[in-house]
Structure 1
């Protein structure tokens, strides 16, 4: 059951505890449960997916254990059969009961038995120990704070209610303006952290221990896989992973874009199902961004039960106005708008579980920028390191920041600043971070009043440069942007989002494949996935550039949304932020208007990030 969970280290009167019920009610409208002892309080909001009876309500207790569980264990039936051999009996048909009894039987080793997505807390009423776990790749979120003892929750908004005061983390703010989201274990608030994918936290009498229980880069945690015929083996794994994600006692649907990943998901599921699957697509009035015709072609070939909806400016404005009701942390991925709408569409059609195809690009080299940035690295590496570093310093002296910040022509300020940073990058990972960043370190320093020393982003450094890029995205972009977006958008509509490509067996298998199986000699990404898909569909159906799930933001801002800039980025509004430099923002505004008059959108993404932050601040920092 995908739900909302929260816990904190203090006892409250029952009436005070129940005041928190509305905060995460959208995550679990079916039932709200409570558990307290003299030291801890726990709340669970249930969205019933497996075993819809009241017997599976939470918090779930068994002997000395109390469980708050958000997620699904797709192989719970197999694990329950194994537990029966140890004498355990079951009174429900839920994965919740299997989870708590597995830990009762096997202690912390139990976690390795599960195929699933989850975040959960396990409280031992005898020892007073609390364990927090997050799934292997971070499909389900878990936030915690150690201010005033331990507190944790599925969303940031709940912890903000629990803490008396919060303050903005300047490093996180810097990262937001660089990447469009807050990566790693930080959140926008200094007092609140994320439990990272594959980690668990143990808390006992004020002492906290955080460890990694699974990592895609740790060979010891991988299973045994056959590599004699990798394409055949991968297809078997995908079929198993996809079918597991259909386990539910409620209707299930698929987000279908018509691209490689979602088409492969729908194809394998439909070919291994006797019933019509349901597919959903969002389209746009702007044909450059619209993929509905491709999705329809795939749906017709598979004979799915297909529904599509076009997102226009009016619907987008409604969602835009409520963007930070859905997302509770600064977040500038514009695909959050159509994701919220397609979740509403699925719910309106009676679906309670939806499957998304996130993760395939990061695992199998699907992003075009892996190829483009690798070419840049190879070009830069033709120069000795000392020459690159010297050239970067010379560029900084030749066009100092105070000069470039006022350059309007051809977006020169951004281009010069990024080139300077790329020239001085000491390794492929820092080069990649600079290449994908919307703003250079120096540009962000000028924007934020409280400047910081850049924090190194740690990542697995093995393999070719393109593999390092994929690993970076797997560690940061995937869990902290894409999966966070899907979780918030689906849960806000009280439906469950599942990620079949992120079955840990598929992730582990992808790490055993050579780079040539992912990006082939023709620089075509997801090569092995394409070979599987082309067994069922003609290649011409997918012979087009990857579009993603973004919206035509410049066209819409150009027509309707400039008013938001005038309201939120006025000198009066900026004077109240305390963190942004008003003069820098006003300079960007002048550039935006200059570019707009000439039909260019050079700094629209930067403007959107500033606006998005201001909207978040108004909603969540009052």
Structure 2
């Protein structure tokens, strides 16, 4: 796991390039505290900070092939690098290291972009062809690792985190009201978007070619949410799923450093922990978040699973004060407005894991998307079949959708029945499954001065996907979850970005392509979709505590606006002061002040979900504006303590000496 950064510029003075790339890398040093290096070529500079996990002695970056024509900066892991290396050796490709970075480079040289479909991993990478002058950027198929770029009319910047652009001469951040409208409406940036003007992210399953100053985007992998139904028995399907998951965990345990597990206490992380204990030759360490507020706490389930499986368990207890204190730092690493605070405890958990000496973590992300674990999928099934179901069956299914939410209780049943009746017919073409959810986001868009059409870009996203129209309603819901909330929030804001803030890499066994294909083949084959993750439970029956298989799903949640009302952190003044609020040019101050006043004066139980989400959006946007637009260091949290010895891997500019090594410290 690493971070990369670079730029292509015909305008920057040659003698300025080393200082600029060193400063860019210093801003993402938390991603790779072990070492750093950079490469210079005519018009191009790129570098990497490294978190050493595979081939600790020999995996330094940037890395070249023996001819020094091709150079790579690689962020992430190829879990199948062993098999790929053997295949490439048989084809005559030379290897000097045991690193997966070299495998990625040699695979690109051998197969070109076609190599990307062979990769089983979580990665973003930049490859320079020193002969053609081309630059290639690529990202994994599920968007596990970030890669941002800015095309500045002749200058091209790229980095694992946008904050690296702060070090480029003349670069300025500016919030984009249109993108904020879309983010507020659908809860996350769309696959190629960011909240800032002029900055894009490489979409999941995509690569980019920069040639003669012009970039082109390509898609190498489409999502697989449809598959031929599994033809065997239920027992055979359960065995198939279990074996596919076992192989996925086994691949992700490949590491030259210890691999831990995040254990939430739910089914998915319990399965990952079970398989990790089966496959590891040593005691497995597990880590979890507990909450002072028992409304959100799952520590009892966590300790039960850890005890049952015999792991060495460690947890942190997070209070409202902890969330309030760390909120600005977590926003700085997330680089995007957030609609809830659940990413902050994950920021604290990764710090705890890092302090325990862990660099690599397995987690359960992706299971709910692959195996239909969210109530969203049951909602979609219910709404899609609403007019075919008898009234009593509708009521039974409605009652079981959200047992954890008070506003889905019996007292609200009449209102909910009317709501589901209202949304049983599609209003936004292609977005049927998410229309109910998006009502909360629609409220948040009222924070903006100028509003156009908050769902225009989401509608365009599904309209332009050739495979989308043929999917079933549930498959469309899956597709949208993969493309939006999973990649844009769960894997990034709440996952990768919080982990790498403290140099901890997360690996997701449920997002192995083989597991996703297996899930698509068995989903809805042996149940009606209302028995949550039935096939997973059958696959691991008798191997986990009974409660892990029988208790209803409890979504991971954290306290929201109540935290800030109770704690009154200094940065709350960004919303309470008219002068501070005015610095947010895109925000409607009148609506914002009414919302803030209601939140601050109303009992928590009387604050609706949409109001709570809108408040967290507003506060995180205000903090983000201070950090990136106003460039106020005091809002960015404590700087990384990591000190990097940065070296020039090669300087290939015209009339420069052969490769040299110089030292410096970030």
Output the TM-score relative to the length of structure 2: 0.82
Say which is worse superposed, 248-257 or 558-567, in terms of deviation. Answer: 558-567
* CA distances 1:338-365 after superposition (whole Å, capped 9, x unpaired): 1111101111111110111100001111
Q: Does 1:267 align with 2:274?
A: yes
Question: What does residue range 89-238 of structure 1 map to in structure 2 within 5 Å?
Answer: 89-148=94-153, 149-162=155-168, 164-217=171-224, 229-238=236-245
1:608 counterpart residue number: 616
* CA distances 1:394-438 after superposition (whole Å, capped 9, x unpaired): xxxxxxxxxxxxxxxx99xx99xx999958843574233331126
Question: What does residue range 54-93 of structure 1 map to in structure 2 within 5 Å?
Answer: 55-62=58-65, 63=67, 64-93=69-98
SS of the residue aligned with 2:586?
coil
* CA distances 1:264-313 after superposition (whole Å, capped 9, x unpaired): 11112212333211100110012221111101111111111111121123
Q: Does 1:280 align with 2:287?
A: yes
1:20 counterpart residue number: 24
CA displacement at 1:39 relative to structure 2: 1.5
2:456 counterpart residue number: 455
Output the CA distance in 2 between the equivalents of 1:369 and 1:224: 22
* Contact 1:338/1:549 (<8 A) preserved: no
CA displacement at 1:461 relative to structure 2: 3.5
CA RMSD of aligned residues (A): 2.9
* CA distances 1:588-616 after superposition (whole Å, capped 9, x unpaired): 23433454287545522221211111111
* Contact 2:565/2:600 (<8 A) preserved: no
SS of the residue aligned with 2:283?
coil
CA displacement at 1:252 relative to structure 2: 0.9
CA displacement at 1:447 relative to structure 2: 2.4
SS of the residue aligned with 2:471?
coil
2:480 counterpart residue number: 472
**Per the alignment, do residues 280 and 523 of structure 1 end up closer, same or farther by CA in structure 2, a change over 3 Å counting?**
same
* CA distances 1:75-109 after superposition (whole Å, capped 9, x unpaired): 11111112222233322111111221222222222
2:637 counterpart residue number: none
* CA distances 1:460-502 after superposition (whole Å, capped 9, x unpaired): 2333322221221011110000111211111110121111111
Say which is worse superposed, 367-376 or 342-351, in terms of deviation. Answer: 367-376
**Per the alignment, do residues 481 and 381 of structure 1 end up closer, same or farther by CA in structure 2, a change over 3 Å counting?**
farther
1:439 counterpart residue number: 440
Output the CA distance in 1 between the equivalents of 2:529 and 2:518: 23
1:507 counterpart residue number: 516
Question: Match for 1:489 among 498, 516, 535?
Answer: 498
* Contact 1:216/1:508 (<8 A) preserved: no
**Per the alignment, do residues 598 and 532 of structure 1 end up closer, same or farther by CA in structure 2, a change over 3 Å counting?**
closer
Say which is worse superposed, 501-510 or 291-300, in terms of deviation. Answer: 501-510
1:395 counterpart residue number: none
Structure 1: unaligned runs, 5 residues or longer: 383-409
SS of the residue aligned with 1:56?
coil
Output the CA distance in 2 between the equivalents of 1:373 and 1:299: 34
1:33 counterpart residue number: 37
2:598 counterpart residue number: 591
Output the CA distance in 1 between the equivalents of 2:193 and 2:529: 39
Output the CA distance in 2 between the equivalents of 1:184 and 1:328: 15
Output the CA distance in 2 between the equivalents of 1:115 and 1:88: 20
Q: Does 1:498 align with 2:507?
A: yes
* Contact 2:328/2:623 (<8 A) preserved: no
CA displacement at 1:582 relative to structure 2: 0.8
1:407 counterpart residue number: none
* Contact 2:371/2:523 (<8 A) preserved: no
Output the CA distance in 1 between the equivalents of 2:433 and 2:43: 47
CA displacement at 1:59 relative to structure 2: 0.6
Higher relative contact order (CA 8 A, sep 6+): 2
Output the CA distance in 1 between the equivalents of 2:104 and 2:193: 29
CA displacement at 1:198 relative to structure 2: 0.7
**Per the alignment, do residues 322 and 444 of structure 1 end up closer, same or farther by CA in structure 2, a change over 3 Å counting?**
closer
Output the TM-score relative to the length of structure 1: 0.87
Structure 2: unaligned runs, 5 residues or longer: 390-410, 463-467, 631-666
* Contact 2:48/2:61 (<8 A) preserved: yes
* Contact 1:170/1:452 (<8 A) preserved: no
* CA distances 1:116-173 after superposition (whole Å, capped 9, x unpaired): 1111011111111111111111111111121133221101112344362343222210
**Per the alignment, do residues 42 and 320 of structure 1 end up closer, same or farther by CA in structure 2, a change over 3 Å counting?**
same
* Contact 2:323/2:341 (<8 A) preserved: no
* Contact 2:35/2:49 (<8 A) preserved: yes
**Per the alignment, do residues 214 and 130 of structure 1 end up closer, same or farther by CA in structure 2, a change over 3 Å counting?**
same
2:397 counterpart residue number: none
